[in-house]
Structures are given as structure tokens and as C-alpha cells.
Amino acid sequence: MASAASFSYAAALTSTVRNKFSLMTWNTAGLDHEPDELRECTLAQCEEVKMYSPDVVYLQEVTPSTCGLLRSTLQDYKMIPATEGRYFTAILLKNSSVQHLSGSIETFFGSKQGRQLQTVRAKCADAELTLMCSHLESQGKSAGERVRQLKTVFERIAEASSNSAVIFGGDLNLRDKEVTKAGGLPNGVFDIWSLCGEPPDAEFTWDPTQNDKLEFPFKMTAKCRFDRLYLKQGTASGLKVVPERFMLVGKKRLPVCETFPSDHWGIVCDFKVEETK
């Protein structure tokens, strides 16, 4: 059932359809795999990108070895890696539909895992976008640092240009109680899954009951909504970026390694850009 926030948000829209675009986010699970398996999984992820053809792609756990393969296989995209460390995020922009304006990287100085906030300013479907991607601190024991990182992101969202819609997301490793500990969603920031009516088949991006990509030394059955997308409108732009469809991808088992492309399901979200009255 959709939240009250999503209903009030939808009721506030009085506008005219202008254009459309789509965005994918996916933790690529680029760590701790045999080279042949890693190559098969990375190529399978590329095929998903080609099939859905999103205008913007957020990737997490990209490694130096997968970065080159992603770049050479997805030549229709401009690939912007956050760094060249052991693993990192990357934002991909489709050459034919997205104009890259600028970008920045902010390191979370309290992170013990080298986590960062990657920001790219771009223009797509006539809308100015501030695209923010991150892989927040992992594991339950890092909840305190993860909440601090989320608060920092909310501050950066608030600082973004009022002419630009902000879309923040990635593998955020979040539990709902941690969003509450961060003070809840700031005014004007919306959970895109909720805006799309909270589709139950697109809730859990981490589902060890279905995804056996990784083996654990203990039985793990908890399903989690680790991967999320958030939206804040550009209030001065005269445009609204409205999510239309939210779905999970990457659920096809691969023929050689006999597992899935990643231990996370990916997310694809379709948006329409509307003129506000």
C-alpha cells in the first residue's frame, strides 16, 4: 500500500508531460570472485544495461578489473568512475541523451571502508539533474557511521541548486530504523519506491532466500531493502521529475557460473518530466 506521503505528492502534481528518462542502480558485486566468474557476471550486467537502456546508471563495487570491461562493453555511455581504489562507485551517462555538466567526489572521513559520495550534474529530458550515488558503510556493526553518512548526504541534497532535481541512490545498506535515527527524510525528499506505490515485488533488493550468489558461514534469511533511490524536486526549475515505474532486475541465473549477476538485485526506475503550472 502506498504511503500517505506518496498520495500527497501525487495530488500536488498539476502539469503537462514533457519528456521521459530512466535510471538504473546496481551493486555489481565486483569483489571476491574468481576471474572467470567475475567476467561472466560483469558481461551479464552489461547485457541488462543494454536491454533496459537506462539514460543514467549508478554502479557500486566497481573494481579496476571490471571498470575496463564495463567501459569497453558499454560504449554508448560516458563512464565516470569515482576513484581508482580497490573498489568504487561509477556513474554512466548515455551519450545520446544526457549532457554531462560537472562532477565532484566527497570522502566520508569517518568511513573505515573508503566510502564516498559521488555527484554528477547533468541535463536529460530538458531537466537539470543532480545525480548522487554512494555505497554507504556496510554491515550492522557500522550503523552509527552509516547514519552519519546519510545525514551528510541529506545536507548535500539541501545544498543542491533549486533549479536541479536531485536523485540520490545506490547500495545504501539502510534499515528503516536508521533513516529514523538520521532524523527521517528531510522536507521535500521522497523515497522513490514509496512514490511508485511500494510495489511488493520490488521491495527487497537483498534477498538471500532467492539469491544464492554468495555463501555465508551461517544461515541468512533476512530480506532487506538495502538499495534505495530518493528524489528532491528542483523547486525553481518549473519542472517536476515524476517516477512512473520501479522494478528489480538481474534475476536471470547465468549459464556457466550457475548463479546470478550480483548478490543484489538491480533497480530500474522510469521517470517523466512535467512542466508545473
Active site residues: 171
What contacts 215, CB < 8 A, 6 or more positions away? none
Q: Which of 273, 276, 245, 270 is CA-nearest to residue 19?
A: 273
Here the cell at position 37 is 566468474
Q: How far apart are CA 247 and CA 34, in angstroms?
A: 29
Give me the residues paired with residue 274 across strands.
17, 240
CA torsion angle 24 30 33 39 (round to 10): 70
Q: Which of 48, 7, 5 is CA-nearest to residue 248?
A: 48
What b/e sequence results for 9-18 when a residue is b if at least 16 CB atoms lie within 10 Å of its CB, and e otherwise? Answer: beeeeebeee
Q: How far apart are CA 19 and CA 193, in angstroms?
A: 21
Q: Are strands 56-62 and 15-27 parallel, antiparallel or unpaired?
A: parallel
